[in-house]
Amino acid sequence: MCLGIPGEVIEILEDRPDLAKVAVSGVKRTINIGLLDDDPPVPGDWILIHVGFALSKIDEGEAQAALDFLESIGKAYEDELAALQESRIE
C-alpha cells in the first residue's frame, strides 16, 4: 500500500484530464493524476503511483532505480502489482 510504483504516462484522457493511461510493469492501467495539477505530466513522463494516484513526477533513471528496488523486495511488490492488475479506475 505504501509502495510507490513507477509508471510511464501513455496518454491523458480527453474527456477526463485528471486521468491518464499509464504503463506499469507491462500493464496499462488508468491512474488519477489530479494531485499533480500544479505541474501536470505529459505522455512520456514518469510518475510514482500510490493506490491509483500519481504522487510525484520522477525522471527515467529514478523510475528504473525504483523498479529495481521493488523487484528486489519480492512478494510485497508482487501483491501490489496483482492488486493493480485488478484495478479499473474510472
Partner 1 sequence: MRFVDEFRDAEKARALSAKITSLCEPGRGYKLMEVCGGHTHTIYKHGLEDYLPESITLVHGPGCPVCVIPMGRVDDAIHIARQPNVLMTSFGDMMRVPGSGGNFFDSNAEGTNIRMVYSPLDSLKIARQNPDLRVVFMAIGFETTTPSTAMTLLRAAHEGIENFSIFGNHVTIIPAIKAILDSPDLRLDGFIGPGHVSTVIGCRPYEFIARDYGKPVVVAGFEPLDILQSIYMLMVQLSENRSEVENQYSRVVPWDGNMVALKAINEVMELRPYFEWRGLGFISHSAMAVREKYAKFDAERIFEIPGVRVADPKACQCGEVLKGVLKPWECKVFGTACTPETPIGTCMVSPEGACAAYYNFGRFSRQRVREASQHEHVGS
Q: Write the DSSP symbol of residue 52.
A: T
67 contacts partner 1 (rule: CB under 8 A): no
Dihedral (CA of 13, 45, 26, 76) sign: negative
26 binds partner 1 (CB under 8 A): no
Stretch that binds partner 1, among 7-15, 20-28, 66-74 (CB under 8 A): 66-74
Which of 81, 62, 59 is CA-nearest to residue 71?
Answer: 81
> Which one of residues 1, 14, 15, 44 is an interface residue with partner 1 (CB under 8 A)?
1
Question: Which ranges of the chain does DSSP label H, i.e. alpha helix?
Answer: 60-73, 75-86
Output the nine-digit C-alpha cell for 2: 505504501
Query: By the criterion CB under 8 A, which residues form the site for partner 1?
Result: 1-4, 32, 34-38, 48, 50-53, 55-56, 58-59, 62, 65-66, 68-69, 72-73, 75-76, 79-80, 83-84, 86-90
